[in-house]
Structure 1
Amino acid sequence: MAEADWQAVWLTLRLASVTTLVLLLIGPPLAWWLATRHSFFARTVESIVALPLVLPPTVLGFYLLWAFSPNHALGAGWLDIFGSPLAFSFSGLVFASILYSLPFVVQPLQAAFSSLGKQYLEAGATMGMGPMERFFRIVVPLCLPSFVIATVLGFAHTVGEFGVVLMIGGNIAGETRVLSIALFDHVEQLDFASAHRLSLLLLGFSVAVLVLVYGSMKRRQQRLLPCR
């Protein structure tokens, strides 16, 4: 592959890694809150989290681009603090990717937390464990396969983004030109040999992700873990 394509590979992996790390920090608390609350407000938040699943990526990208503009509060505040615009930057891609990939991390964890039997938490409470200790010493180990699935799905979904990253980042080499944008460029230029190479790379990655996810689900079923 050409040097520009390797640069796109590295940028994509960097974007997916940073996004997944942030999602693993904010996703589990949000999933736990959604799994343990049944109010109208919680269901409203749940719907907002799931919105990227049905909303066209270009719609989300358009409104994020509008919000990232220096003419609006978020973009203007970022520009004042960091001295650079949020739109058409790697930081802007991270913000957009977090929102776009959020349901792929939250939903598997929420489903696992919802299916966790209350007896495990009650047993921990009788042993004197506080809420945080019960979460990290009981919930996380029992639901570990779901954490693996959420991590893989969040990472893979970020790698495959196109509409959102194109709207937010454009096509700046070394800054916002990720794999999906590079592939689109090769097709536009009728460079089908390079397009084939990138497509095969993404195809192989997608197959590996599915094998890992379904393998993890199968092992979870065989072990009969409480989180199903």
Structure 2
Amino acid sequence: MKDALIAHRGAPLLAPENTLPAIRAAAAQGARWVEVDVKLTRDRKPVIIHDDQVDRTTNGHGFVANMMLEYIRSLDAGSSFSPEFADTRVPTLEELVETVLELGINLQLELKPTPGDDIETAEIALAAIKDFWPANRDGLFFTSFSIRSIHAAARLMPNVPRAFAVVVPPKDPKALMAETKCQILHLQRALLSDDALKILADSGIEFAVATINEADKAQHFFAGGAQSILSDVPDLFLRKAL
């Protein structure tokens, strides 16, 4: 990573998370990288949504994996955030990539399988990426909490960097990187103690911390060895110089 901040699900404090307005808002706030989540529908189409179910972020109910693309695309993914975003749709992966390329920014694509379709999520999403992402363009990497998705990504697009995401910091970060075939480790801030930070820093691996919305907390993790953070605030570094 050459940039210290990745805009988490776009700009979810300004627009509905994981939607095209959120991506555009992040870019307008100066983000050079955005992170989004990809899942499969019942008819095996990759869409940009975080949860296994649509209930939290749309006016629908039920599991993404049990819905056809046409139905998910009929849902309102914006009104619950603000009337201003009424009729915002859950994006397809193709729409998301087109928007990222149009804006000239970079993409962290999190493979977010519904438990049980880990390999298929990676296979279908990466097949789509091969179709949509220019072969000679950098600015792309994959991440997942699923070891099976990550291993599939390593097999299918070995030249694209990968990040493995964990909640509990590993005791042996280098061994975990070797096992997962990843170049970057993503960690959740909640369990990241100073002792764990030291282990990570001493290991020499590249790691990022999520989700950091305060400049002083970002500085703490950078001082502890992190190279980047995920944030809901794309202009975090502009608001308070580090």
TM-score when normalising by structure 2: 0.25
The structure that has the greater radius of gyration is 1
TM-score when normalising by structure 1: 0.26
Structure with the largest fraction of helix: 1
- Larger relative contact order (CA 8 Å, sep ≥ 6): 1
Structure with the largest fraction of strand: 2
